[in-house]
Structure 1
Amino acid sequence: MMVILGVIILLILVAIGVSFFIAADHQTKIYEELEYENCELSNEQAEQIRQAKRNFSKPYTNMIITATVLCILSAVPLLCGVFFTKMLNGSQMDHLMTGLVAGTLVLVAIGVFFFIKSNITMDSYNILLQTDDYTPKKKNGRRIMNKYAAVYWLTATMLYLGYSFLTNNWEHSWIIWPIAGILYGIIEKVLSLKNNDIAPE
């Protein structure tokens, strides 16, 4: 019964998350072409963006440091559970570990938030200025990679849902996602070595 309840809650949270993704995608769709097309800026506009990027440099560093520290410390709640293994019975230990896992996930979530927020802002400056990973050649490479990425992640999603529903092994099927992420990085790196125009994201 608890497993079914857990799956129901999971699906509700996934549905909420997907709705946010769809809404955000709709709002940012009009700016998506800037990531793949050349940006033509006047000298004045370019200088304003460079100044904004310089002003953001310190907050960017602080957010990256904060995110890194939080992700490292996220293991602490789980490690603390070791001290109570001999003091609590099975049921009490289960409740404690549930709370500690929740604490770990909260720390990871906050850390990931800072990672995403800081990098989205910095990438926005780089996209407009066409620097770092967003030079004209690399933008062209990203356009090529984007075509393959859509097929790749749709295939990964199909495998995840197909395996999970057929085996009902939801508690272990999540491992497909980190494997897919690592495999995507490897493929992207191999392609970048074969074609200098394609740079890993």
Structure 2
Amino acid sequence: MILADKIIEERKKNGWSQEELANKLGVSRQAVSKWESAGSIPDLQRILQMSELFGVTTDYLLKDEIEEAPLNEYVETNTIKVSMEEANQYLDMKSRGSRVVANATSLCILSPVPLIVLGTMTEDHTLVGFSLVFLLVLVAIAVYLFVNYGLRESHMQHLEKESFETEYGVSGMVRERRDKYEPAFIRNIAIGVVLCILSVIPTIMAGVMEADDSICGLSVGLLLIIVSIGVNILTRTGMIKSSYDTLLQEGEYTKEEKHLKKKTDDFSGAYWCLVVVIYLGWSFSTNNWKMTWIVWPVAGVLYAAVLGIVKMIVGNKDE
């Protein structure tokens, strides 16, 4: 770990912003920012001040090969080193993969549209049967894309699950790319959220106008199409943003969060297997495929809440 990364780590351990650290050292926030991006190196006086503030030795700050003594169970002895080439390869891989995952997700959302629309417009069992086959084909394509992506990118998944250290200059490069992406991230998140909110307008209008079943079916189909576009944008944007967080080990990819995620992976697998069983059981028992798709958005909303409770319980046990 280089000096820039050590300053960032120690500052965050103390819960200080760059401006707060700058005030304690009597320098500008821009100076601290340059130190943390490896754009400049603090003078000896500042090194001594930081040593006292952080409660570490000057040797620890100045010598790359010296690491701080482990403070908790999340620190690992055999730390992976990530080079500049590997970091760029990972970022490019996630950027390409975000399109694959986003498109596969959209296919899942769009898959019931023909079934819903035709189911309300005609009683022809042949057309409804073809729409059901179309639904299964789209889901199969989406599953293929998910599996193919997972296998192709599996050699890099250790960065999302294990602790690692970056070589000199990597963190600065990642922060620079993240800062450039920030305006696009904010814009795309806003567009995706707005589309998801606006998607209910056709359904609301159909209800207000007391439209017949065929119009209601079309409104639900339009809702899903708009949602698929919004979710596509959100998925792409989120994956690219998470790739920067992964390499910087921030947000959901801190060492503590990775440790916690290892303990909740079994729950996640069991949860989604149960959702699949409920969906297929309900669908085949009622043959009401145009309604049972509601299981997925409900399961998605509940997953975030239930996972939060599980993490809380696991975290309390670790304390």
Structure 2 residue runs of 5 or longer lacking an equivalent are: 1-124
Which whole-Å CA distance do the structure 1 matches of 2:302 and 2:209 have between them? Answer: 38
In structure 1, the partner of 2:189 is 64
Q: CA 1:183/1:99 → structure 2, altered by over 3 Å: closer, same or farther?
A: closer
The one-letter amino acid of 1:141's match is L
In structure 1, the partner of 2:180 is 55
Q: How far did residue 83 of structure 1 move?
A: 7.4
SS across alignment from 1:40: strand
Q: Report if the CA contact (8 A) 1:138-1:197 is conserved.
A: no
1:132 and 2:257 equivalent?
A: no
Which whole-Å CA distance do the structure 1 matches of 2:136 and 2:183 have between them? Answer: 39
1:153 and 2:272 equivalent?
A: yes
Q: Number of residue pairs matched? A: 192
In structure 1, the partner of 2:100 is none
Q: CA 1:76/1:167 → structure 2, altered by over 3 Å: closer, same or farther?
A: closer
Which whole-Å CA distance do the structure 2 matches of 1:186 and 1:122 have between them? Answer: 22
Q: How far did residue 197 of structure 1 move?
A: 8.2
Which whole-Å CA distance do the structure 1 matches of 2:210 and 2:281 have between them? Answer: 38
Query: Mapping of 1:114-193 within 5 angstroms?
Result: 114-193=233-312
Which whole-Å CA distance do the structure 1 matches of 2:136 and 2:302 have between them? Answer: 26
Give the TM-score normalised by the residue count of structure 2. Answer: 0.54
Q: How far did residue 97 of structure 1 move?
A: 4.1
In structure 2, the partner of 1:41 is 166
In structure 1, the partner of 2:21 is none
Which whole-Å CA distance do the structure 2 matches of 1:99 and 1:133 have between them? Answer: 39
Give the TM-score normalised by the residue count of structure 1. Answer: 0.83
Structure 1 residue runs of 5 or longer lacking an equivalent are: none
Q: Report if the CA contact (8 A) 1:78-1:101 is conserved.
A: yes
Aligned-pair identity (%): 29
SS across alignment from 2:166: coil
The one-letter amino acid of 1:3's match is V
